[in-house]
Chain A
């Protein structure tokens, strides 16, 4: 009699274990694959504005031009606790007219279109040519939260605050073992829980038809518990007709 249910639960367990194993394998192999294959299929959104309004500029990231990291596949690497030194160079190529006067170099890191962090280096006077050094730039406290490939924008601001020049490039920020940051860990836990809940979703059918208490996922147990009073336990007539507390006969 109990052979069929036992076999069924065995199958269910095997299926759940298999799906969990696939999910965990994907979680483990994904960072390894990302580390091994630098070519990533991400669209290029760099803005090569080397010459904007007579202003010629260049930025070096630890000695390398940022234009070499114009795609996510060629992103610069920044390890945990890593720092980068950025050198901004510019000069005005148009010798006539008012021209640009630069007094601010800015670096921003973007996530979902919003700047996660901004750092400014401000010169005391506006210059038509020169350089600013942004030393020891790091993601700061963000390195404990996020990792992955992010778009950074280096820009030069004129004295009136307008952007005279900007260029985007990519940086791959990595946490230890590719996962030891808060957001990846939380996401991995959610993924494992959801895979488990998905494996147990089939039991929703039988619980409703047979009225058995939940043995699977917490969500299934909650569903069974929430539906139990309405569907299976009618209110006690004695309780329903009892007077409210404080009433006297």
Chain B
């Protein structure tokens, strides 16, 4: 899994968890089914996009600081041997 994919995965979970936490803290209300699902989907999408961007940026930064081969922030294919 690439850094971007890993970040997106974390972001999706974080988005959903933060929406549920917002309900628990009284900021949002998830009493209605349609509204609740709407909030969860929006949270997952926004979290996924933000997480992907953060993961991509962190991967790029990690490669630059550690002298990686490429700066794309994406891991090479599984079968490619390390140089």
Beta-carbon contact of A112 and B30 below 8 Å:
yes
Beta-carbon contact of B10 and A198 below 8 Å:
yes
Is A24 at the interface (CB under 8 A from chain B)? no
Beta-carbon contact of A206 and B66 below 8 Å:
yes
Which of the residues A148, A191, A197, A204 comes within 8 Å of B23, measured between beta carbons? Answer: A148
Q: For residues 217 through 246 of chain A, which have their beta carbon under 8 Å from a beta carbon of chain B?
A: 219-220, 223, 227, 230-231
Beta-carbon contact of B25 and A204 below 8 Å:
no
Is B42 at the interface (CB under 8 A from chain A)? no
Number of interface residues of B (CB under 8 A): 52
Which of the residues B6, B29, B75 comes within 8 Å of A72, measured between beta carbons? Answer: B29
* B2 neighbours in A (Cβ, 8 Å): 204-205
Beta-carbon contact of B6 and A197 below 8 Å:
yes
Beta-carbon contact of B14 and A205 below 8 Å:
no
Bound: A114/B36 CA distance, A: 11
Bound: A178/B27 CA distance, A: 12
Beta-carbon contact of A183 and B58 below 8 Å:
no
* B69 neighbours in A (Cβ, 8 Å): 209
- Known contacts: A112-B30, A230-B78. The answer to whether A8 contacts B66 by CB under 8 A is yes
Give the nearest-CB partner of A45 in chain B. Answer: B32
Which of the residues B6, B20, B76 comes within 8 Å of A183, measured between beta carbons? Answer: B20
* B58 neighbours in A (Cβ, 8 Å): 15, 198-199, 201-202
Beta-carbon contact of B51 and A40 below 8 Å:
no
- The stretch that binds B, out of A26-34, A57-65, A96-104, A136-144, is A26-34
* B62 neighbours in A (Cβ, 8 Å): 8, 12, 202-203, 205-206
Beta-carbon contact of B24 and A205 below 8 Å:
no
Beta-carbon contact of B6 and A34 below 8 Å:
no
Is B13 at the interface (CB under 8 A from chain A)? yes
The 6 closest A-B pairs by CB, nearest first: A113-B33, A202-B58, A151-B31, A8-B65, A202-B62, A198-B10
